[in-house]
Structure 1
Amino acid sequence: MRAAEAAGAQAKARPAPPPDATAAQAAPDAKEGAAALAELFAEAGAPAPLAGRAAARLGPGAAAALRADPWRLLRVPGVAPAQADHFARRLLGEGARPDDPRRGRALVLHLLIEAAREGHTVTPAADVAAALQRIGVPDPRAAVEAALDEAEVLALTEEPEFDEDSVEEADPPEPEETLGPARWALAEEAAAEGLRRLTLTAAPLLDDAAVRELRSGLPEDRSLALTAALRTGVSILRGAPGALERAALEIASAAAGRGVRAAVVAPTDRAAADLARDLPGGEGGGPPVTSLHRLLEPRADASAAPGAVVYGRGEQNPFDLDLVLVTAAAGLDVELCAVLAEACADGTHLVLCAREGDAPPAGPGRPLEDLEASEAVPVVTLDAPPPGDPLGALTAAVRGGELVAVDAPGREVVVVPAADPGEAVHRAVQLVTDSIPRALGIPLEDVQVVTPAAGGETGATALNAALKARLNPGPGKFAGMDPGDRVVVAAPLPQAAVGETGVVLGGGAHGLDVEFPGGMATLSPAEAARLRHGWAVPVALGRGTPRPAVVAVMSGEGLSRPVVATAFGLARRHLSVVQAAGPALARAVRDVAAPARRTRLARLMMG
């Protein structure tokens, strides 16, 4: 296998997969493409529902792309290698050979994308070769070479860590070769380039006298946070829920009062609207508070690759801001981090705010942790105030590694035991539809169910099926959705950020009409495939958007201290914990950290 030199150190990353050249050739319109794809799937005996996902991933030319290379089916989420092999045999007959270069390169990319779903941006080449052997690729080296020739996979050389205790006479360890999808490898390099640029081009936003005046009377931790924001290009601000967001708003308001163009940025429009109400002086009384999605100005672009979101803000059209404070920054994956950094002009100051102990992002990478590990930027941690209510006491204890019982006379925290998954789902539905609205006066639309994972007997999919049956039964007339269904954005859309929730208004041949917090949007059928039912969401999608009431369904799957802390920290007024995990919940809070991720951003920041 070959190693790519710096793997595109001069290249610019974009937050989208590279266009599928085969799919783009003479792509028919959506209607013709859907008909051709349905015909192809019928011919191959593939499940009809898979056609929608294939169209969303491969675009209107999906049928032509799959006839030319049946193993491209592996690019569709949820398709396993055995299914792609079966599909290829149905189309190619005896021509579907195990050593087909198309099969090899598709399997390499598939393995790397599966690793990316676990958060990794790179994977050791030796691990990829071993996995290829296990799934019946006769020549793993040739398969990797075919993938590299396609330019959707990059080979990267990782230099070993320097060990001061190593014996001088010992042979130095060989550099490790890793492989990564070009999409995330280049995004990681772009993020590092952008963050380094901001640190190098920064100048103080205010003179020393103005900074001293603003710091006067502030506690030491707030003073340090303000100073870092005004004097350094990139800084990290960590703290407890509530205190962190208040500090970000106060820093932005103080800077704006001295003429600094400042903005506070939240993950979703819903979160931004809630945050704006907490501004000193009230909503509309200070610097703008918006979602990152809106700040980046997404726009439709017919030339974009399937699944891509094109933003109006970027290197050629950066933000008109001097200071950007990003809340819930632990949720930034490497692609969004790259886009954010590129959209900041030279000299812009970027403050990444993150709650202590939050779960890593849903997408690949761990930019915040890598940036902190690189020691390239200042990190300020706010002093933890004494918890002022039962919710604060519980979340603080969980972040510290302890699951405790809290006294909650106002029913701010309620634990509901469940003996098995079926009972857990039943209890969750009961809480959402009856107990919380009736006993606490919190309307159903302000209640969000969260769970560690999408799958499983108590996962978001199972919970949504039960909640839909109770709240809005229907045939799923529009791609499984009915008017009145709550939905959540599970993959990027031009109209709404990942994690944004909305309500289906209707649909038809034109697409799906959805009311989001930012307004009504009409989604094409391919775009609608990126929605999921949203009464219940995995923690990864719910993070960053606190709700008045949260029902956290805790089973034995997917538990870790960061996941539990993030789930509990989403509740603003009330938290119901459906406890279906038994002693495993306390063990996870005490002993289970977030799984490690293989990334390169820390090294890139240092190099």
Structure 2
Amino acid sequence: MTDSDLTELFAATGVPAAFAARAAARLGAGAAGRLRDDPWRLLRVPGVRPQQADHFARQVLGDAATPDDPRRGRALVEHLLTEAARQGHTVTPAAEVESALGGLRVPDARRAIDDALDEAEVVSLTEEPAFDEAAFEVEEAEPPEPEETLGLARWALPEEAAAEGFQRLNATASPLLDDVALKEARAGLPEDRSLALTASLRMGVCVLRGTADDLAGTAFLLARAAAAHGLRAAVVTATERAAADLRRDGDVAVVGLHRLLEPVPDAAAAPGAVVFGRGEQRPFDLDLVVLPDAAGLDVELCAVLVEACADGTHLVLGGEPGALPSGGPGHVLGDLAVSETVPVVDLEPAPAADPLGTLTAAVRAGELVPVEAPGKEVVIVPAAGAGEAVHRAVQLVTDSIPRAFGIALDDVQVVAPAASGEAGTTALNAALKARVNPGPGAYGGFDPGDRVVVAAPLPQAAVGETGTVTGAAGGALQIAFAGGACDVPAALTGRLRHGWAVTVAQGRGTRRPAVVAVMSEDAGLSRPLVATAFGLARRHLSVVQAAGPALARAVRETGAPARRTRLAKLLVQ
């Protein structure tokens, strides 16, 4: 629910009513009063652009809203760094921020940056220049000056905490098995699995790289070897749905990371924050923690995870080579590998046993190739445009796949590269809801029977977790998740989206019996994104191909964009 003061303020200033719920969720109680004091705080609400915030400020302040207002400059600095964080960066050169502020008509960019630093939500960091051997060959050459970078404290500080945590785990680790026991555990294993077992049981932190199936199988191998010698081990997944799937395939403890961290209610927490019960004061009761799919960890969640590992705990992080980067800022696995401070073991891929594995392996290698699929494990569905793509996706979910393969609608997941666009998840969900569960959206836009996905962290569930709305009571939405039923208060329902279709980033880490991947030309396609989307299918993949030659070109030529991060440098300090 939104407070009446905020609704009245937005109505009086011409702000669309749809922003009220987002503003209340982002700014918390008393949002209207804070916006009257500083209208440029509206930029903290996702989706608000600088021009819109300026217009709002003029409506609130009248002639007192000027381009040189310190509140405006401060808010724009935070906005620029937030936009950079959405691209995965934890830091941005101060010179780039100053240049962008000039384009936004901020008269004194340096003053705006200093004002933002005074608020402590932005931090200034010094980046030492890379060593340039050639510079030393020039007489009297001036050494390059350190570069100032800026970052939001929310991301820059956890990145430092993650680095300190990795260093602590490496420094406090001792072998979990003696040489004799380790030799027995390694007996008969292929060389790569033997190396993975040795690294995980001897080193505080290690990284495994391989396919999803190879990583999951190796995670079970490590956990079983540890448990056979009385050690406490757990395999950890991104969501409870993924954990439930793995439990069916193995005989070791599997738990979702969110549940393992034990979220707790905290009235004093900042809006949007989730507080966990596990941490430095109450670490995991585990000797070995294995995350077979850790590529989705951003630096904030990584810092929480590492802090919850006690001194001496061994942490194993797995990821597919060239995996889709995390949805939040950071590049944890890549930075760990680049730092050369932890062992990195490449798992030899098992030969692709089915058309799905063959296609995904080819995409990962940079080729979009036709595959023989006598059992229709892979089906390409051409679509002339976005509208036809949406129509085809609905048809596949509601009719073709259940009828041809006996896969229930609840086990079919539609994925798309982005939420926006004519064939994005917003458009797909609107069409799917109209067909699968029509209704007025009586409870904050949702109806009983709607599938939902967590788009921003909830105390009740992790990002990417899907569930079904069962009802509403006392102003809360009742949802059945894989980990159990829970009530999501009205103030937090803005973090939910309809979930028949999810973005590839939201769907990662949770595989489904059937996946419908909707690919459109204007969707920011890349090799990691396509490989991740295709790899989510266990039994059947339908590719709704509305991208034309752009799909093959993206697989062949477009990798993940580089991210500006500090973790690798911090690890070697």
TM-score normalised per structure 2 = 0.98
Match of 2:233 in 1: 262
Distance 2:474 2:236 in 1: 36
Distance in 2 between the 1:488 and 1:247 partners? 29
Equivalent-residue separation in structure 2 for 1:289 and 1:254 (angstroms): 15
Deviation at 1:514, TM superposition (A): 1.1
CA shift, 1:508, in A, is: 5.2
Query: Does residue 324 in structure 1 map to residue 295 in structure 2?
Result: no
Q: Could you say which residue in structure 1 is the equivalent of 2:351?
A: 386
Conserved? CA contact 2:127–2:148, under 8 Å: yes
User: 1:3-14 counterparts in 2 under 5 A?
Assistant: none
Number of the residue aligned with 1:10: none
Q: In 1, are the aligned partners of 2:212 and 2:293 still within 8 Å (CA)?
A: no
Aligned-pair Cα RMSD in Å: 1.0
Q: Is the 8 A contact 2:265 2:275 kept in 1?
A: yes
Contact 2:215 / 2:293 at 8 angstroms: preserved in 1? no
**Alignment partners' CA distance in 2, 1:558 and 1:255:** 42
2:96 counterpart residue number: 127
When structure 1 is superposed on structure 2, of 507-516 and 327-336 the one drifting more is 507-516
* 2:500 matched residue in structure 1: 535
Is 1:217 the counterpart of 2:150 in the alignment? Answer: no
Letter in 1 for 2:538: R
Q: Structure 2 CA distance, aligned partners of 1:85 and 1:507?
A: 38
Q: Is the 8 A contact 1:267 1:327 kept in 2?
A: no
Residue 553 of structure 2 aligns with which residue? 587
Q: Which amino acid aligns with 2:107?
A: P
* Counterpart secondary structure, 1:221: helix
- 1:35 deviates by 1.3
Q: CA deviation at 1:356?
A: 2.3
Confirm or deny that 1:143 pairs with 2:137. no
Report how far residue 47 of structure 1 moved.
Answer: 1.3
Corresponding residue for residue 199 of structure 2: 228
Partner of residue 448, structure 1:
413
Q: Which residue of 2 aligns with 1:478?
A: 443
2:84 equivalent in structure 1: 115
Provide Cα deviations, 1:513-564, integer angstroms capped at 9, x if missing partner.
Answer: 1111111111112211000111101101000000000001111121100000
Partner Cα distance (1:241, 1:358) in 2: 10
Tell me which amino acid in the other structure corresponds to 1:571. Answer: A
Deviations 1:20-57 (A, max 9, x none): xxxxxxxxxxx7x6112112212222111111001100
User: 2:304 matched to 1:335?
Assistant: no
Deviation at 1:509, TM superposition (A): 5.2
Q: Which residue of 2 aligns with 1:604?
A: 570
SS at match of 2:255: strand
Letter in 2 for 1:42: A
Question: Does residue 478 of structure 2 align to residue 500 of structure 1?
Answer: no
List per-residue Cα deviations over 1:349-405 (Å, max 9, x = no partner): 000011222100000111111111101100001111111111110111111111111
Aligned match of 1:21: none
Distance apart, 1:480 and its partner CA: 1.3
Given candidates 136, 144, 149, the residue that maps to 1:178 is 149
Give the Cα separation in 1 of the matches to 2:247 and 2:204: 25
TM-score of the superposed pair, with normalisation by structure 1: 0.93
Q: 415, 420, 425: which is aligned to 1:460?
A: 425
Aligned to 2:64: 95
Report the residue type matching 2:445 in the other structure: G
Does residue 398 in structure 1 map to residue 356 in structure 2? no
What are the residue-to-residue correspondences of 1:563-582 with 2, within 5 Å?
563-582=529-548
8 Å contact 1:238–1:244 — kept in the other structure?
A: yes
Aligned equivalent of 1:359, options 324, 328, 344: 324
Structure 2 SS opposite 1:277: helix
- Paired position in structure 2 for 1:24: none
* Aligned equivalents of 1:434, 1:366: Cα separation in 2: 40
Counterparts of 1:202 and 1:167, CA distance in 2: 40
Stretches of structure 1 lacking an aligned partner (at least 5 in a row): 1-30, 280-284
8 Å contact kept, 1:548–1:572: yes
Distance in structure 1 (CA, Å) of the matches to 2:511 and 2:336: 25
Deviation of 1:277 after TM superposition, in Å, equals 1.1
What SS does the aligned partner of 2:470 have? strand
